[in-house]
Structure 1
Amino acid sequence: MASSLPPIYDTEKDSSSVEKGHSPNDHEYVVQTEDRFHLDAQDLDHVQRKLKQRHVQMIAVAGTIGTGLFLGSGSALAGSGPAGALIAYIVVGSVAYSALCCIGEMTSHAPISGTFPHFAARWVDPALGFALGWNYWYSNAVSIPVEITAATILLTFWDSNLSHQAGYTAVVCVLVCAINIFGVRWFGESEFIFSIIKLLLITGLILVGLIIDLGGGPDHQRRGFQYWRNPGAFAGAGLEPNHIGLDRFLGILNVLVQAGFSFQGLELTAVAASETENPRRNVAKAIRRVFWRILIFYVLGIIITGMLVPFNDPDLLQGSGTAAQSPYVIAMSRAGIKVLPHIVNACIFTSAFSAGNSFLYASSRVLYGLALRGQAPKIFAWCTKGGLPLVAVAATSCFAWLSFMNTSSGAVKVFNWFVNLSTVAGFFSWLGMHVTYLYFYRGMKAQGFDRTKLIYHSKLQPYLSIWGIFWVIIFILVNGISVFWSFNASDFLTSYINIPLFFALYFGWKIIKRTKIWKPMEMDFVTGIPSVEETEHPIEPPKNFGEKVFQLVF
């Protein structure tokens, strides 16, 4: 807790810290000599760095890509038309990238457990860290059954017998939990394989979509941008049918929130930094590549999507939850391609499974970080000798079994409320990353740190953070905008209950613990943070052509 008394500073290293802080250029950090401005020694991690470079790079490129991208793009197209969906994906993509730049730079300085909730507690206000941590844990934990349910629904593409859904759900739940309980190395290897499948799928869909659009399919029909002209580039939300321009604008606003779900989870590489080899170097490389991932996979993908199917196509609106509603599969079927839809559905199934796997990993590590800082029961900070936070993983795994709610018709409505709540909670996480970075930026500058010497920093800061804060606030406010045209109490609550819930967490912890916002010169940039020499090891140069290719790709 910050004090109102003036701090005392020293330029000597903190001899009480087990992992001493050195800047990348070996200059001394400004270190407070008063214990009241230090964090506790319990901030030191007990996890082990077992994720390799290839794991981190593939997780960064495709880690949390799930049904939100493959099937959600079709819903975005139906909701706002090809041009409206493109605008929404560009705006949301820029905000997601700015959030990643924020957390990436902070992680480059402090690759430790707890990630951005801990950064918020350390450099903004302990109460903000508490609120963000539990908010992020909740949003990811609830997303686990969402993706598991999506995976089991995808199986109905081949087996339409709904009585089998409970069995499929049980198998998927067991596999997702087992991978995480076996340890981070198993998680890394599984995500490496799943990410390769997702990359091949995305690349294949874009290429096949482009070929079909140019008339290379069996029907030899050249589509071009004809659907941008008829039925049009923009679709209305149906809320203001007498005011076409306003209705189209509302359609874009609705899709902004929908697109947000597709982008959430990009920060997984930073969450995994405490368990990553050479974390500063690997996280920096991963973040630089994410820009191209957003541009190619999301933006280019939505452009191709809008060229393949008109936004008013009845198959696009069927909401089956399988590959049958994917605009790519619809285009393939219309073009006379028979086998590919089955391959696409199989790959989307692995994507949903992978996303559930990743959300379980991310939420369990944040819960572990909260426990380390005394903001969650200490039992969740217990680790095995191999560095696995087993209790945190086991507790979070319980959420996977909520996916059985979708096998009961009475519980489906409640389950859908969870889905809506998780999306808004994800926006609060983005808001927290941007706000925390502005404080981090101000504190580093005040204490004389040269952030340009970090292994990763963005030249566009702090303007990226300001851009992100502006748009995330809009995302949160327009999340349930359609409810004001046809008011429904349950829909209103699921759209906006997260706002009072988040502030209840913040002010509750603030009042109970009497925390204060850290002043720039009170921020601790040293305690418990490993030096560059302790985390970054020399990279052996490639010895042959194969190793050069491997280094280029990963």
Structure 2
Amino acid sequence: MDNDPNQRLEEGDSIEKGRPGPHYVVQSNPQYHFDVHDLDCVQRRLKQRHVQMIAIAGTIGTGLYVGSGGSLASAGPLGALLAYALVGSVAYSSLCSVGEMTIWAPISGTFPHFAARWVDPALGFATGWNYFYNKAIVTATEITAAAILLKYWDTNAPSSRIAGYTALMCALILLINIFGVRFFGESEFAFAIIKLILIIGLLITGLVIDLGGGPTGERIGFRYWKNPGALARAHLEPNHIGWDRFLAILSVIVQAAFSYQAMELVVIAASETVSPRRNIAKAVGRVFWRILVFYILGILMIGMLVASNDPDLLSLQTNNTAAASPFVIAMNRAGIKVLPHIVNACILTSAFSAGNSLLFCSSRVLYGLALRGQAPRFLTYCTKSGLPLYAILTSAAFSLLSFLSVSAGSDQAFVWLVGLSTTGGYTSWFVMNVSYIYFRRGLIAQQYDFTQSSYHNRLQPFIAYWGAGWSLFFTLFAGFEVFWNFDAKTFVIAYINIPLFLILYFGYKFTKKTSLWKPEDMDFVTGIPSPEETEEPEIEPRNIWERIANIIF
């Protein structure tokens, strides 16, 4: 259809009515695969409560419960707090950016397709495959973590028994995803409730212990911020204390970023969500407070409870069970004996939930790639109930990599695979923010009133530039420590993902002869359902309990 670059919004027009006027850009070239209505067969089965609790579940995991101990030991209480706050701001920026694009286009393919649609088809291809193998590999690491957590009770388990635990985890995660998105939503809803109860319980317990309410009656306060100090050192620059402390904070960035991974699950599920524009807008809008309450307060609390040079904290860093959790260390010191077992059980469900969510993410991105002709066509197959079965099975095959960690001879290969995915999350955040910047330019050039969308962050585009800049910084400096004591293997593990991403991008670009989209040529219409097609009438709360549920969910 014709496009008039000088057209203006007519009175009464808005995105909520679907289109800004009678003229809009449509890219009819079939090579772009913008209209895949006949192929996309997933169904909207995730309800509001599923989406809201999934948004919480994606931000709370083993990284906070266990991995935070390593962050505290590396950077000190203030250093860990600063690192988690910085990475949290980048994760929030990225989610706001991809959330706004998703609410405009709640379709399969999510942010890799947005990159292809509004930046460059080659960027969408590289991003999609990078995200797929990143999350598929991390699924295996979460399964491994879940199996190891069982050693908290089975301390002398031989390798054969650990292999059995691993096989059980792989089978259960696959079954949950194969039973369908509704069953997936119910399972994540239950896991999220457990996580919420655990983190709130840990924060309250930690506060009681800190104020001297534990069995020993010892009041801790902020003593560990004074001795051994608020900031630890990286021991890379012994003659420059300030620079060395900055490097210590920088070393925590990787661990902090891992803790925030999978926050984007809520937008990846947009094509399978009931009333996606309304429900995802609510979820994205509440993420800031969830990061502040659960992550920032959580890191602040462990910095109050445990010293950064605590011998137990340092000696248990190779132990991935609850014994290495700063919260459990504090409980043991305070004389609390029963709670550590409960904490380990809850952390086990968190690791299992993370693997479950990651398999969902990787399979849906792979399905989206196939819909757009950037992955084998057979992966578009869906069952009658809207389940992308072959995409799930293909993604689940990567979970078998978790068995590499069982064998002593194969564990190094597993370390390499984990290294492959280290910077994958940063790359995804970078692309989300860059895609939003291009998306916004296109909307402005074509005279769309994006401020009338169901969700629009008033800090845009500044937070998108913030997220893109820091994501690029994290990617380039993820393995900075290797430059003080160079080791070729460590260097490759830290940075191998960068050349792989560039190979995917330039390989597709040169093969398909793609180019960056001009703002006036971007397509904001084709294959995108209108609000009338996706949104169901909102049911008003009828009593106090429904009002409370509406606030929570």
Instruction: Show the counterpart of 1:497.
Output: 496
* Identity in percent: 61
Q: Contact 1:424 / 1:498 at 8 angstroms: preserved in 2?
A: yes
One of 9, 23, 43 as aligned partner of 2:3: 9
The 10-residue stretch of structure 1 (62-71 or 142-151) with the greater mean CA deviation from structure 2: 62-71
Letter in 2 for 1:314: P
Instruction: Show the counterpart of 2:332.
Output: 333
Whether 1:155 aligns to 2:154 is no
Instruction: Show the counterpart of 1:258.
Output: 255
Whole-Å separation in 2 of the counterparts to 1:337 and 1:29: 68
Letter in 2 for 1:35: S
The 10-residue stretch of structure 1 (465-474 or 324-333) with the greater mean CA deviation from structure 2: 465-474
Q: Contact 1:101 / 1:287 at 8 angstroms: preserved in 2?
A: yes
Instruction: Show the counterpart of 1:414.
Output: 413
Instruction: Show the counterpart of 1:343.
Output: 342
Letter in 1 for 2:35: A
Alignment of 1:502-541 (within 5 A): 502-541=501-540
Structure 1 residue 247, shift from structure 2 partner: 1.6
The 10-residue stretch of structure 1 (535-544 or 462-471) with the greater mean CA deviation from structure 2: 535-544
Structure 1 residue 244, shift from structure 2 partner: 2.2
State the SS of the aligned residue for 1:41.
coil
Whether 1:41 aligns to 2:5 is no
The 10-residue stretch of structure 1 (410-419 or 237-246) with the greater mean CA deviation from structure 2: 237-246
Structure 1 residue 457, shift from structure 2 partner: 0.7
Whole-Å separation in 2 of the counterparts to 1:179 and 1:496: 34
Q: Contact 1:215 / 1:222 at 8 angstroms: preserved in 2?
A: yes
Distance 1:103 1:394, change over 3 A: same
- 1:161-189 per-position Cα deviation (integer Å, ceiling 9, x unaligned): 23221111111110011100111011000
Whether 1:466 aligns to 2:465 is yes
Letter in 1 for 2:528: I
Whole-Å separation in 2 of the counterparts to 1:423 and 1:460: 29
Letter in 2 for 1:114: G
Structure 1 residue 36, shift from structure 2 partner: 3.7
State the SS of the aligned residue for 1:161.
coil
Instruction: Show the counterpart of 2:101.
Output: 106
Whether 1:28 aligns to 2:32 is no
- 1:200-242 per-position Cα deviation (integer Å, ceiling 9, x unaligned): 1011111111110011101111101000000011111122233
Structure 1 residue 198, shift from structure 2 partner: 0.3
Letter in 1 for 2:327: Y
Alignment of 1:70-469 (within 5 A): 70-163=65-158, 164-317=161-314, 318=316, 319-469=318-468
Q: Contact 1:64 / 1:355 at 8 angstroms: preserved in 2?
A: no
Letter in 2 for 1:32: V
Using the size of structure 2 for normalisation, the TM-score is: 0.95
Structure 1 residue 460, shift from structure 2 partner: 0.4
Letter in 2 for 1:260: A
Q: Between Structure 1 and Structure 2, how many residues are aligned?
A: 539
Whole-Å separation in 2 of the counterparts to 1:29 and 1:353: 49
Whole-Å separation in 2 of the counterparts to 1:358 and 1:22: 35
Whole-Å separation in 1 of the counterparts to 2:156 and 2:394: 32
Letter in 1 for 2:445: A
Whole-Å separation in 1 of the counterparts to 2:27 and 2:146: 53
Distance 1:378 1:22, change over 3 A: farther
The 10-residue stretch of structure 1 (455-464 or 418-427) with the greater mean CA deviation from structure 2: 418-427
Whole-Å separation in 2 of the counterparts to 1:417 and 1:443: 40
Structure 1 residue 40, shift from structure 2 partner: 4.2
Whole-Å separation in 1 of the counterparts to 2:165 and 2:501: 35
Q: Contact 1:8 / 1:34 at 8 angstroms: preserved in 2?
A: no
Letter in 1 for 2:197: L
Unmatched runs of 5 consecutive residues or more in structure 1: 1-6, 12-20
Whole-Å separation in 2 of the counterparts to 1:86 and 1:34: 47
Whole-Å separation in 1 of the counterparts to 2:85 and 2:386: 39
State the SS of the aligned residue for 1:32.
coil
Q: Contact 2:33 / 2:373 at 8 angstroms: preserved in 1?
A: no
Whole-Å separation in 1 of the counterparts to 2:356 and 2:212: 38
Letter in 2 for 1:303: L
State the SS of the aligned residue for 2:217.
coil
Runs of 4+ in 1 over 3 A off after TM superposition: 36-40
Whole-Å separation in 1 of the counterparts to 2:529 and 2:148: 45
Q: Contact 1:210 / 1:304 at 8 angstroms: preserved in 2?
A: yes
Whether 1:52 aligns to 2:47 is yes
State the SS of the aligned residue for 1:445.
helix
Whole-Å separation in 2 of the counterparts to 1:40 and 1:123: 11
State the SS of the aligned residue for 2:203.
helix
Q: Contact 1:22 / 1:29 at 8 angstroms: preserved in 2?
A: no
Distance 1:295 1:30, change over 3 A: farther
Structure 1 residue 62, shift from structure 2 partner: 1.8
Q: Contact 1:77 / 1:306 at 8 angstroms: preserved in 2?
A: yes
